[in-house]
Structure 1
Amino acid sequence: MSNLAAKRILLGITGGIAAYKSIELIRLLTKAGADVQVVLTDGAKAFVTEMTLQAVSGKPVRSTLLDPTAEAGMGHIELAKWADLIVIAPASADFMARYAQGMANDLLTTLCLATEAPVLLAPAMNQAMWRHPATQANADTLAQRGVLSVGPADGAQACGDVGPGRMTEPADIFTYLNDNLAAESIPQDLNGQHWVITAGPTMEAIDPVRYISNHSSGKMGYALAQAAQLRGAKVTLISGPVTLSAPQGVTLVKVKSADDMLTACQQAMTKTADVFIGAAAVADFKMKSQSHQKMKKQTNRDELQLTLVKNPDIIATIAEQKGANCMVGFAAETQDVIAYAKGKLERKGLDMIIANDVSRSDIGFNQDENQVTVITHEKTWSPEKASKQQLAMQLVEHIYQHTQSSSAD
């Protein structure tokens, strides 16, 4: 049975081309057994019709704040109390601005101010609007007030631009709700803890236009950051170049090279962190000497030799410096996965290592699902294949339990 069964979900739809995606989200929620009530803004009516949404949700659609038929019983307050969860998908820049300012000039903003239920935004807008300092300030303000957010995604937009601003796909929003927000409450047992997490690839420059890197998408590290933050931890996410947006409430530090990442990790630990998770796929080697000009192709040569030197071993360095009470590494391997992972656990001085087989096309790099083996000095645990968001919640719980048992010894 889905975690969303019998949950009362108020779905707010604001004005934007992504509004059509909300029809699929309603279908997924109702199929899972959720009770969905739709609220439209005036702007949303230009993109989707009340009749369509009523047919999909099975309930009349609300859009008017002062509806005489509903307000006889203070209907907008009753609706705010009715909801177990409020989801705004899409959440436009205009809605986020009004919500951040505490305005209550339509039904949806009024409900968000009047409810005690968790509120989740799925932002959707032009990439320039998303990047605008005003929108970023509004997003930060809402996050500080406990409003959750998923996305936006990065990619091609209806206007022809490319960049962050696409609404997260309905299936991913559904997964997030089912895995993270559908429980009666998310334990806040990580309150007061500082988790430092690395994610994504590193990029080692050859010359100003070429570099050495790998296929890491950063999805696993970002999911871990979100899972830890949801349980109350202060999270610093140190990320190589990816196309993901950082979860709201997480401190993002962007880096490129392994040297940059090591420096950022050390700076993040002005005092010892509670947990350090090295989920980044750090390049093993870098150029011994980077060319400051573009290297030209030699027409009389068919080969090019590059001299590489080892990059710093970030997680081993942090472990040696006692940078965190619990050190967790990742081992992305293509053969003898468990044996290599156990070797890294001992060699790098870690408390735990998470091994995954990146030779499989259905998990690992650039995939939405993953399957791992968690290895400590005492035991091995292999959770079932799951979405990276769901797996992240399990891993954070496992790490928390490990730290609790270690401190009790």
Structure 2
Amino acid sequence: MEIPDAGFRRVLVVGTGALSVSFLPFWINWLQDSFPAVEKRVALTRSARRFVSPEAVAALSRSRHDVFTDDWDSAPPGTAPHVELAAWADLVLVHPATVHFLSRYALGLADTPVLLALQTTRAVVGVAPALPPAAQHSPVVQGHLAALRARPGVVVAPTVPAESASTGERDDGGAAPMPELFRLCATYKNAHEKTEQPS
């Protein structure tokens, strides 16, 4: 897959508590191999830490920053991690994004450092939803996805067919591969930079 150069230099990867976050070390390794000059940071929600090791993610990202746990209690006293993350990144990849996370994001909630950073950042934010069985048919879920698609600076990747770990059935709710999410974000940034240039 050919990914256009959009000039991203600092990428924040956010993993949430879908089972597919267990593949995040693989995608971090892909990101490092594909874009070695790009600085990377990783944030995990508390639920994501049930499925993926922060140590494995940190080792593969080769970042000078520790893996950040998306919890106010994890922040050192006197710091403002939401301000730092919002200003630092020029691309945020939420991969995978659970229904709970994307719903809070769509509603404008800011009850964790990462969500507050996403509500205030000027970076392009790519979201790869990971939906449970039948969530595609929920008008509430579809409303939240539509709200995010309509938000400037936010790119929502289409879901892909995946087998449900709970039912064993194949459904169209899997998170898009990270290369596809990255490509969509790069295409979005390039297209909007062209439209914003003076004629």
C-alpha RMSD over aligned residues: 2.4
Give, in whole Å, the separation in 2 of the partners of 1:51 and 1:4. 30
Counterpart position of 1:52: 56
Q: Quick check: 1:93–1:123 contact (8 Å CA) kept in 2? A: yes
List per-residue Cα deviations over 1:357-383 (Å, max 9, x = no partner): xxxxxxxxxxxxxxxxxxxxxxxxxxx
Shift of the 174–68 alpha-carbon distance from structure 1 to 2, 3 Å rule, reads closer
Shift of the 67–155 alpha-carbon distance from structure 1 to 2, 3 Å rule, reads closer
Give, in whole Å, the separation in 1 of the partners of 2:140 and 2:75. 36
* 1:112 match: secondary structure: helix
Counterpart position of 1:187: 194
The alpha-carbon deviation at position 182 of structure 1 amounts to 6.1
The alpha-carbon deviation at position 21 of structure 1 amounts to 2.4
Give, in whole Å, the separation in 1 of the partners of 2:102 and 2:109. 10
Q: Does 1:153 align with 2:160?
A: yes
Q: In the TM superposition, what are the counterparts of 1:109-258 in structure 2 within 5 Å?
A: 109-146=115-152, 147-159=154-166, 160-177=168-185, 179-181=186-188, 183=190, 186-188=193-195
Counterpart position of 1:17: 19
Q: Quick check: 2:92–2:126 contact (8 Å CA) kept in 1? A: yes
Q: Quick check: 1:7–1:182 contact (8 Å CA) kept in 2? A: no
The alpha-carbon deviation at position 6 of structure 1 amounts to 6.1
* 1:87 match: secondary structure: strand
Q: Quick check: 1:93–1:130 contact (8 Å CA) kept in 2? A: no
Q: Counting helix residues as a fraction of each chain, which structure ranks higher?
A: 2
The alpha-carbon deviation at position 45 of structure 1 amounts to 0.8
* 1:116 match: secondary structure: coil
Q: Does 1:37 align with 2:45?
A: no
Counterpart position of 1:107: 113
Give, in whole Å, the separation in 1 of the partners of 2:190 and 2:73. 33
Give, in whole Å, the separation in 2 of the partners of 1:185 and 1:30. 26
Shift of the 107–134 alpha-carbon distance from structure 1 to 2, 3 Å rule, reads same
Q: Quick check: 1:40–1:108 contact (8 Å CA) kept in 2? A: no
Q: Quick check: 2:81–2:113 contact (8 Å CA) kept in 1? A: no
List per-residue Cα deviations over 1:88-120 (Å, max 9, x = no partner): 000100001111111111222111112111111
User: Aligned AA for 2:54?
Assistant: E
List per-residue Cα deviations over 1:286-339 (Å, max 9, x = no partner): xxxxxxxxxxxxxxxxxxxxxxxxxxxxxxxxxxxxxxxxxxxxxxxxxxxxxx
Counterpart position of 2:9: 7
List per-residue Cα deviations over 1:238-274 (Å, max 9, x = no partner): xxxxxxxxxxxxxxxxxxxxxxxxxxxxxxxxxxxxx
Give, in whole Å, the separation in 2 of the partners of 1:83 and 1:184. 19
Counterpart position of 1:74: 80
Shift of the 105–171 alpha-carbon distance from structure 1 to 2, 3 Å rule, reads same
Give, in whole Å, the separation in 2 of the partners of 1:75 and 1:145. 23
Larger Rg: 1
Counterpart position of 1:62: 68
List per-residue Cα deviations over 1:207-262 (Å, max 9, x = no partner): xxxxxxxxxxxxxxxxxxxxxxxxxxxxxxxxxxxxxxxxxxxxxxxxxxxxxxxx
Give, in whole Å, the separation in 2 of the partners of 1:28 and 1:184. 25
* 1:97 match: secondary structure: helix
Pairs aligned (count): 187
Give, in whole Å, the separation in 2 of the partners of 1:143 and 1:182. 14
Counterpart position of 1:98: 104
Give, in whole Å, the separation in 2 of the partners of 1:120 and 1:142. 10
